[in-house]
Amino acid sequence: MTSPNITPSFPSRLPNVGTTIFTVMSALAAEHQAINLGQGFPDFPCDRNLIGKVNEAMLADHNQYPPMIGIGDLRNGIAKKIGDLYQHHYDPDTEITVTAGGTQGILTVILSCVGPGDEVIIIEPAYDSYRPSIELAGGKAIAVSLETMRDQNGQVASYVIPWEALTKAINPKTRLMIINTPHNPTGMVWQKADLDRLASLLKNTSTLVLSDEVYEHMVYDGAKHHSVASHPELAARSFLISSFGKTYHVTGWKVGYVAAPASLTAEFRKVHQFNVFTVNTPMQYGLASYLSEAAHYLNLPDFYQAKRDFFRAELEKTGFKQLPTPGTYFQCVDYTALNIPEAKLPEAEFCKWLTTEVGVAAIPVSAFYQKPTESGVVRFCFAKQEKTLASALQRLQSL
């Protein structure tokens, strides 16, 4: 007797989640041989010395499980870097954990402190992993939007922190607030006064903070990155997340870290040990050695500012209106004043047209909102070789 062919079914944990816009646009770019300025990854090689250090670690037989929290040399290096930059000491044994990239750190933070009925404030446009992570934890995402400032022509000019909306969003159910500086996708950077205001806002609450600072070394024009680690009141209630992939041009290695007070780290590690346990051993040894040379991250702002300035100077020759880019490796532009019929298209459709017909892939900023929010703004990534940027710009200048 033949058994019936039954496909098991079960309720989706993420019924509203599909394929990310980054995957969709990268696939479309590949299909049409477009220049991919959409997804945020460099197209240039990392330092060969870093690869050499990883290779040395492999040949030295550092190929078995490392400690669950990360190897000591790397945690010590992270603690020193944070102390040197932000004048806050994290104990490398009890307050720093190496993660499988920033996104795993984000998910683990949320799973460790958010439960059913808890509310988590996110600021949109927001990195697309925040909301699904909150939903997996059983929490509820409370979205407030950055305020959109427009010029006299009605085009988007800048984004500002929505303090009034943040104040109204906080209530006894608020378990966590997620902030992101420098901000993806807008490039906005929080200032010291912003951290002061946030600390004042949270002063008499039990709300924790997840501070996503993976672009910490991409702040330009001589400005400083203001980390929650530099603010004692916020450091006491915050999980700080950063990424070696972004800093050292190795996004595919997926190595990052989370720094937090010991009591928060203890809860974080309970989840960490079961959703990833530990992180690639030779990569950790290579990064620990490379991190000891501070110039490798201290020189990064100048490196990326040169790319930003080149990209912006050439974009001036187009009809795109550029938004300020004080941080990250992303440039947002308002396309609605372009003298073409496609300037009336919604952002997602405009990006598809730009990819298939012009040969340059971008990301619609509307994709960073839960509900469709059309502002006529798209995001380009300038973490590319100059020849890649030049080719893309030549195509964009044809519009």
Question: Where residue 106 sits, what CATH number does that domain have?
Answer: 3.40.640.10
In this predicted structure, the answer to whether residue 156 has a pLDDT above a threshold of 90 is no
214 and 149 assigned to the same domain = yes
Is 228 within 8 Å of 209 (Cβ atoms)? Answer: yes
The boundaries of the domain holding residue 215 are 49-294
One-letter amino acid identity for 9?
Answer: S
| Omega before 15 within 30 of 0, i.e. cis | no
Q: pLDDT band for position 112 (50/70/90)? A: very high
Judge whether 7 lies within some domain: no
In this predicted structure, the answer to whether residue 5 has a pLDDT above a threshold of 90 is no
Give the phi and the psi of residue 149 in degrees, each rounded to 5.
-95, 135
Q: Determine the average pLDDT of the residues in 163-181.
A: 97
> Given 248, 276, 294, which residue is the final one in a domain?
294
Structural domains of the chain, count: 2
Residues 333, 378: Cα–Cα separation, whole Å? 6
Judge whether 8 lies within some domain: no
Q: What is the DSSP letter of 307?
A: H
Judge whether 5 lies within some domain: no
Q: pLDDT band for position 206 (50/70/90)? A: very high
> Given 274, 294, 314, which residue is the final one in a domain?
294
pLDDT value of residue 373: 86
232 and 117 assigned to the same domain = yes
Judge whether 2 lies within some domain: no
Q: pLDDT band for position 317 (50/70/90)? A: very high
> Given 263, 278, 294, which residue is the final one in a domain?
294
Q: Angle 372-374-377 (CA atoms, 0-180°, nearest 5)?
A: 130
285 and 352 assigned to the same domain = no
Q: Angle 273-231-90 (CA atoms, 0-180°, nearest 5)?
A: 40
CA dist list (Å): 219 to 101, 226, 305: 21, 10, 8
In this predicted structure, the answer to whether residue 200 has a pLDDT above a threshold of 70 is yes
pLDDT value of residue 129: 94
Tens digit of pLDDT for each residue in 228-264? Answer: 999 999 999 999 999 999 999 999 999 999 999 999 9
Pairing of strands 208-212, 174-180: parallel
- Of the given ranges (30-39, 93-102, 317-326, 369-378), which has the lowest mean pLDDT? 369-378
In this predicted structure, the answer to whether residue 2 has a pLDDT above a threshold of 60 is no
142 and 33 assigned to the same domain = no
Is 226 within 8 Å of 188 (Cβ atoms)? Answer: no
167 and 305 assigned to the same domain = no
Q: Determine the average pLDDT of the residues in 333-339.
A: 95
Tens digit of pLDDT for each residue in 351-367? Answer: 999 999 999 999 999 99
39 and 63 assigned to the same domain = no
| Omega before 185 within 30 of 0, i.e. cis | yes
pLDDT value of residue 252: 95
Judge whether 6 lies within some domain: no
pTM of the full predicted structure?
0.95
First to last CA, the chain: 66
pLDDT value of residue 1: 54
pLDDT value of residue 15: 87
Per the prediction, the chain carries an average pLDDT of 95
283 and 143 assigned to the same domain = yes
Q: pLDDT band for position 4 (50/70/90)? A: low
pLDDT value of residue 18: 80
233 and 338 assigned to the same domain = no
pLDDT value of residue 22: 85
